[in-house]
Chains A and B, each alone.
Chain A
């Protein structure tokens, strides 16, 4: 549907649409320019790697969130879900190490647990939203609290830590890489490309946009509305699992503060990237740009004393609001 609109827009309208397309990119370039001016180390290999690798968790989740929001849904539970899945994964890996001894099979099983737990959690969200007909906002608000409590309970109020030997063995999954590019960056890039292709060139992506745009029309056009919507939540759950697989080797621990506010950062990244919050139009590459903008703001504030760190949230807030103001034009044109 979105392709049709783009093809038919007249010249002046296209110029306006283009503005919203390039706005996030311009913002990103401006931030990079500021970074170069502030600190000569900004473009250093280490700094770029750090920023990209730490963006990967929220980035991978935000890719899934793009589909959910495009299909007119929302998921507030992803941050808590990530913490719970991470806690579960560490717990299982520690138990397996006791019985099997440290080794690659334990890592493989741990990864399988993370992916399956993510899938199951996404399925529970999706099935309750589509079959029990609970508003997504309310349901995921509920599961957000449930997962957060579960991880606190699993950790006994403290921190779940991966055993020392396993931590050393599993560590390269975050810190290692090929050709000097860290694994989280590679995985994030691959998933972003796959997500962009799925959104633009597959029936699934078009169905998401159709449902988000007008559910009734989509149903009359024989789109399996419930099934597609369920699939978006399951996809998001699996992506949370993948993010956790990358996250656990970083500090080898999970606690009740893991993944705090990730859901809001992911949603913010999606919106900054040009996806409509009310659904109907989604852009995965825009989401990637949004994620980078958000983590660059944090990075820049740490690299300088120029702005008080108390204002980090305020600057992110301004960027989010600006992004939505620009979107308003797109909304009217559609």
Chain B
């Protein structure tokens, strides 16, 4: 359905404004871990498809690994490419708010993805995952599955607002269930750190019933450590974001990896598509578009498995 929508809007664009070429700037974080890698994969794919469907439209895609560089990239886009619309996933909210506000003031359409800006009302369109729902969905599963007094360890991501919102949602869902969080620490969304952390927790606690690794990269590290300690079967591990390997284990009904929670990196495609539609279709596109986190279970796992994705 998406494809047909794009095709028709492309036709409309061609017939309506044949001479006027428009430029869309896209600025996202560099592919330094699995989720961001998938984000890049989906961004590139969407740009390739849209560029083909809209020959009169130009796309500028930049990736950055720190907030300072992202600001420079945005300045370059405005100064040298004269962008008409900007799709941006801010590396950090605070430092990017001012620069993006200036771009919005100059009349450029702004779509902000995932990480909100520090000030409201700047962007025309906001497309994001729901971090509270991400933590809450996992927490609800823990509260329903585990008995009272069960011991849970929690691996958080890099200290950030995203991480805080997720953990707050998780803790809120656990409240009153009697499930105890034995330890909580930062695994930094990193396999190696998670592996070391899990090893140390396994020596520290004789009994662990479940692990919440708030990202599938960390779940991979945790699973390796549990396997090494020979304690597979004692506990289950719930990661998040829907990594291919994890979804595969869920659809095979692996008892160690019973479920997963989505936080789709393909939201960048949603953002780019809607921005281009806003430019070409003349249909209203502004507002907030929040993509809820869903629980992946053996019953629905097939819908969340993407063979070609790197993640």
Give the segment of A133-141, A249-257, A282-290 that binds chain B: A249-257
User: Cβ of A251 and Cβ of B195 under 8 Å apart?
Assistant: yes
A50 touches B220 (CB 8 A): no
**Interface check A98, CB cutoff 8 A:** no
List of A residues within 8 angstroms of B199 by Cβ: 47, 50, 54
B40 within 8 A of A: yes
Interface of B is mostly: helix
A251 touches B224 (CB 8 A): yes
Are A303 and B204 in contact, CB atoms less than 8 angstroms apart?
A: yes
Q: Which of B190, B197, B204 contacts A41 (CB 8 A)?
A: B204
Report the interface size class on chain A. 20 to 34
Q: Which of B8-16, B29-37, B279-287 contacts A (4 or more CB under 8 A)?
A: B29-37
List residues 191-242 of chain B with CB under 8 A from any CB of chain A: 191-192, 195-197, 199-204, 217, 220-221, 224, 228-229
Please state if B224 and A250 are interface contacts (CB–CB under 8 Å). Answer: yes
Complex partner residue of A157 from B196, B202, B310, CB under 8 angstroms: B310
Check if B310 sits within 8 Å of A158, measured CB to CB. Answer: yes
Most buried by A among B33, B40, B197: B33
Q: Is B41 an interface residue (CB 8 A)?
A: yes
- Give chain B's interface residue range (CB within 8 Å of chain A): 35 or more
The 8 A CB mask of A124-158 against B (1 = contact, 0 = none) is: 00000000000000000000000000001001111
CB contacts under 8 Å to B, within A40-91, are 41-42, 44, 46-47, 50, 54
B91 at the interface (CB under 8 A from A): no
Q: A251 CA to B310 CA in the complex, in Å?
A: 17
Q: Provide the bound-state CA to CA distance between A309 and B156, in Å.
A: 11
CA distance A47 to B197 in the complex (A): 12
Interface status of B276 (Cβ within 8 A of chain A): no
Cα A152 to Cα B34 with chains together (Å): 10
Name B221's contact: one of A152, A251, A256, A310 (CB within 8 Å): A251
In contact, A158 and B31 (Cβ under 8 angstroms): yes
Q: A157-B36, A257-B32 are in contact. Are A251 and B200 (CB under 8 A)?
A: no
- A253: nearest residue on chain B (CB-CB)? B191
Say yes or no: is B175 at the interface (Cβ < 8 Å to chain A): no
Contacts of A54 in B (CB 8 A): 195-196, 199
Complex formed: what's the CA distance from A251 to B291 in Å?
32
| B263 CB within 8 Å of chain A | no
Contact with A along B230-273 (1 / 0, CB 8 A): 00000000000000010000000000000000000000000000
Residues of B within 8 A of A (CB): 30-34, 36-38, 40-41, 159, 183, 185-186, 190-192, 195-197, 199-204, 217, 220-221, 224, 228-229, 245, 310-311
Q: Can you give 12 A-B contacts (C-beta < 8 A)?
A: A47-B203, A157-B36, A158-B34, A250-B195, A251-B191, A251-B192, A256-B30, A257-B32, A257-B191, A302-B196, A302-B204, A303-B203
Given contacts A50-B196, A251-B195, 15 further A-B contacts (CB under 8 A): A46-B203, A54-B196, A157-B30, A157-B37, A158-B34, A159-B37, A159-B310, A175-B228, A250-B224, A251-B220, A255-B33, A255-B217, A256-B30, A298-B196, A303-B200
